[in-house]
Structure 1
């Protein structure tokens, strides 16, 4: 469930384009107006605004925003202007750039998305950047981490809720034999099962694993794997079980302690605001006994804070 709030009566995108143009004119930018409009328009409305702005002023509003805004606000607003698949592709491209490698961001985007979402992202990645996502992963990511990412974007997975319990038990046994039962780990088995099985099936495997061996699959992964490969497997499993809980935990870690991991904060809030941020807020409050909005308010400032809080919507009652 989304947290994005839009006007009850849709605003004409032409009117929005005019107001944004006025906000850009003169010395400085009327940032409050820009946020007031863009943080309260859904993906379709933002696309229409971009089209109207281009038609009326012969200028890409995306480029204009880049020149008018700066810092963390610029990054957040520019990401927000994209549709979800183009946004994911953009995050992946930037994260796979040699001098700005963001292994966490790349792993999260790939391992938290459904098979159909990844299919759309890989197509847009190629059409937008003129290169294949697979090739960039091969250039910048290595070892078992590379193998799971490549397998996860290439395999078509069932997205329904039906589960073959007998197959789930066999998979649990295969993972146990590949990990905890032996000396060393057969990573190929983990890659094969985690990249091919549906989310519902992975949840069933986890249940079978606990019933059969008395321990959780999550603990087995932590024990038998390490580094970014471990992170990828855990992300896949956690997003199969409860994606909102996973993102709530990542947001908490982004704001825990001194300083804020703004790259993560922006990525999660911007990419989930139109999907499941209401559930993420509920999970955050349940686990950390503080509202996500209060946490973000404490860790951010200025127009950047205003924009993120706008995307998060009103506090839960």
Structure 2
């Protein structure tokens, strides 16, 4: 795995001057209307850490919160991206999880995307920020908003207890594969707990071995079995776990593709991934996207969005 932080399209801006950036943002918000192009120019090519410095400098010189000011100046999807860019990564994740659970209905996709793809450390930080802001644990919120086996898988993921060593126990891998097979394909009805116990707990290398063994025993790919054995959100979350373990950038590439393919755009998914992955693995996501769909992510975003929203997303996407 590449070192974290160097596979992003957004990298540290050289000659960074927060005060000059604050000046530019104040100019952009002066008078009626906002100069969105100026906002993009300042915020898109800065890292999350640099944006925190801009926020501090803004508060110091203006005496107000930059996010609040931009929030009242901007609207729609463009505003959503800008506000996301101003947050620390775990704060943004916590905010997205909260949004997914507020109001009527639940945006299960957000819960799945975030909980299935974050490391233990990331998850612990998200939990801490959530608790601090809401005086309620993320686990309680998830339990109040979901049910059944889907809830149990989410709780297991947010507990951040996955083994993160790279040790493969050969005998155990064979046993795990056999147990999943016997819990699903080999019986009438599915024992989802077995899937949970293996997929949410074992380390990545071990599970990749389990999937190989599973293929041998069952003659099927684990993903096909999950599709046959499960449905709805439970199917979605187990598939997301397997895909993230196999190839996380490919998982996000597929989510981006599906958010834009066909009629309409699922902006919540598009925004969440572009904001959350810009500094982490957007270069890898773009490479996977091209490999999987024969088109660039850039061309897809360009064809599917418009206006300042499009300009900002394309900045985060980086060149073709």
TM-score for the superposition, normalised by structure 2: 0.95
Q: Give the alignment partner of residue 294 of structure 1, picking from 299, 306, 310.
A: 299
Aligned pairs (5 A) from 1:1-317: 1-7=7-13, 9-99=14-104, 101-315=106-320
Q: CA deviation at 1:158?
A: 2.6
Q: CA deviation at 1:155?
A: 4.2
Any idea what SS the aligned residue of 1:215 has?
Answer: coil
Map Cα deviations across residues 138-183 of structure 1 (whole Å, 9 max, x no partner). 1111111000000111142232433222211111111011111111
CA contact (8 A) 1:111 1:232 kept: yes
Q: Distance in 2 between matches of 1:268 and 1:109?
A: 10
Going from structure 1 to structure 2, the CA distance change for 1:264 and 1:155 (only over 3 Å counts) comes to closer
Q: Distance in 1 between matches of 2:74 and 2:33?
A: 9
Alpha carbon RMSD of aligned pairs, Å?
1.2
CA contact (8 A) 2:249 2:281 kept: yes
User: Structure 1: which 5+ residue stretches go unaligned?
Assistant: none
Q: Distance in 1 between matches of 2:184 and 2:270?
A: 34
2:3 alignment partner in structure 1: none
Q: Distance in 2 between matches of 1:5 and 1:311?
A: 10
Map Cα deviations across residues 229-263 of structure 1 (whole Å, 9 max, x no partner). 11111100100000111111111111111211111
Map Cα deviations across residues 296-316 of structure 1 (whole Å, 9 max, x no partner). 00001110000000001122x
Q: CA deviation at 1:112?
A: 1.2
CA contact (8 A) 2:226 2:235 kept: yes
Q: Distance in 2 between matches of 1:220 and 1:116?
A: 30
Any idea what SS the aligned residue of 1:196 has?
Answer: coil
Any idea what SS the aligned residue of 1:242 has?
Answer: helix
Q: Distance in 1 between matches of 2:263 and 2:160?
A: 40
Q: CA deviation at 1:10?
A: 3.0
- What number of residue pairs does the alignment pair up? 314
Q: CA deviation at 1:6?
A: 4.5
TM-score for the superposition, normalised by structure 1: 0.96
Q: Distance in 1 between matches of 2:106 and 2:277?
A: 22
CA contact (8 A) 2:123 2:160 kept: no
Q: CA deviation at 1:200?
A: 2.0
- Structure 1's consecutive aligned runs of 4 or more residues displaced over 2 angstroms after TM superposition are 98-101, 158-162
CA contact (8 A) 2:250 2:288 kept: yes
